[in-house]
Amino acid sequence: MNSAATRTVVAGVGYYLPSEVVGSDDIQRRVFQAGKFNIPNGLIKRLTGVGERRYRADDEQSSDLAMKAALVAIERAQIAPEDVDLLIFASCTQDVAEPATANILQEKLGLTNAQVFDAKNACNSFLTAVDIVDSHTRAGKSKCAVVAVGETLSLTINWGIHSVDDLRSRISSLTLGDAGGAVVLRASSNSNGQGIIASGFRSYGEKWRLATVLGGGSMHRFKEEYSYFTSSSHALLNAAYEHIPSLVADVLERVGWTPQDVEVVCAHQVSEDMVYKLADRCGISTEGTILSVTDCGNTAAASIPIGMGRAYEQGMLKPGTKMLLVGGAAGFSVGVVPMVW
């Protein structure tokens, strides 16, 4: 295969949502039961647009959510398990510290011919993994890859809110939802312009403290108080507004697209308002922006494949459709991947 002419195309996409639906009024009750702190009725939905999110069953692991999404993507791609030569598990959450959750997922999916590893980059894990696959494809090292996400974010919520200050640092965690997402990516030397066109990533390490789960590493090991998600929501939003539009503009200019050329946008989402404000600042129509945050919550790395899956199911993705994948993540990092369906 001539790797210089090779493109990475999406052969299949899928997502999975656990069965338990948790409304924002349920969240208020859980907070009150845990710490006797009363969140004003409707506050979470008014501030974030999140009305519902899904929580995993007790016996569902991150790899299970990823597996269920990957099975849908594999079926839609019409490939056999032995066709897959690369599997990347790409999530904020994981089954165990060692080995890579990709190994557990490989066993569950039966992908015996695949090289497997994890790619961890907070909410940009999926985009980062897609970019890695594209590099492998262009180098001629992969012909058929699966990128799968399994987020069990509900486990990082500290329900013991006792003050307004606690609420400020944890309100973002109250929007978190569990989900799985996956894509099958194939090498094509006759893509007719389809596939991944380019990618752009930028990181701002000085902002790493803005969103954290501090436990589990060498800094705090296994102390429970560091096992929960906290964030400076306002500062994170400002970082997104500052850095995402400029990267979108840079990538679009590089590939020769205007904002008006973009037909479908699948982006990481932390609030409904943020989705529309970023689209406006990027000059992109909101008509093709796929929402998931309102009924799935913030699903971290799963939000982009959920958007892709919904766009596919709604018939929005036809051969030649110009799509933009956009991510912003703790760290702080941003990523933009333009592709033609």
| Per-residue model confidence (pLDDT) at position 2 | 36
Question: What is the arithmetic mean of pLDDT over 171-184?
Answer: 97
d(CA 220, CA 16): 32
Omega cis (within 30) before 99: yes
Q: Which helix (H) or strand (E) holds 14?
A: strand 7-16
pLDDT above 70: residue 293: yes
pLDDT digit string, tens, across residues 89-125: 999 999 999 999 999 999 999 999 999 999 999 999 9
Return the amino acid letter for 90. A
- Tell me the one-letter amino acid at 236: L
Q: Is 80 exceeded by the pLDDT of residue 232? A: yes
pLDDT value of position 5: 76
pLDDT at residue 223 in the model? 85
For residue 142, the model assigns a pLDDT of 97
Stretch 268-293: mean pLDDT: 94
Cβ neighbours around 292 below 10 Å, total: 27
Mean pLDDT over each residue of the chain, to the nearest integer: 95
Reading the block at residue 194, the tokens are 């389809």
CA distance 176 to 182: 19
Residue 59 Rama label (left phi>0; alpha psi -120 to 50; beta): alpha
- Go through the domains of the chain in sequence order and give each one's CATH number: 3-188 (3.40.47.10), 195-340 (3.40.47.10)
Q: Residue 188: which of 29, 339, 19 has the closest Cα? A: 339
251-266: pLDDT as tens digits: 999 999 999 999 999 9
pLDDT category of residue 191 using cuts at 50, 70 and 90: low
Cα–Cα nearest to 312, from 269, 341, 270: 341
Residue 179, phi then psi, degrees to nearest 5 = -170, 165
Using pLDDT thresholds of 50, 70 and 90, give the confidence band for residue 159: very high
What's the CA gap between 183 and 170, in Å, rounded? 31
Lowest mean pLDDT among 5-9, 147-151, 182-186, 263-267: 5-9
Q: Render pLDDT for 1-44 as a digit per residue (tens, 0 to 9).
A: 334 479 999 999 999 999 999 999 999 999 999 989 999 999 99
The pLDDT assigned to 190 comes to 74
Give the number of other Cβ atoms within 10 Å of residue 161's Cβ. Answer: 25
Q: Could you give the CA distance from residue 146 to residue 86 in angstroms, rounded to a whole number?
A: 6
H-helix or E-strand containing 195? strand 195-196
Look up residue 13 and give its two tokens.
Answer: 């996409």
Q: Is 41 exposed, middle or buried, given 0-12, 13-18 or 19+ CB atoms closer than 10 A? A: exposed
Give the residue-averaged pLDDT of 194-223.
94
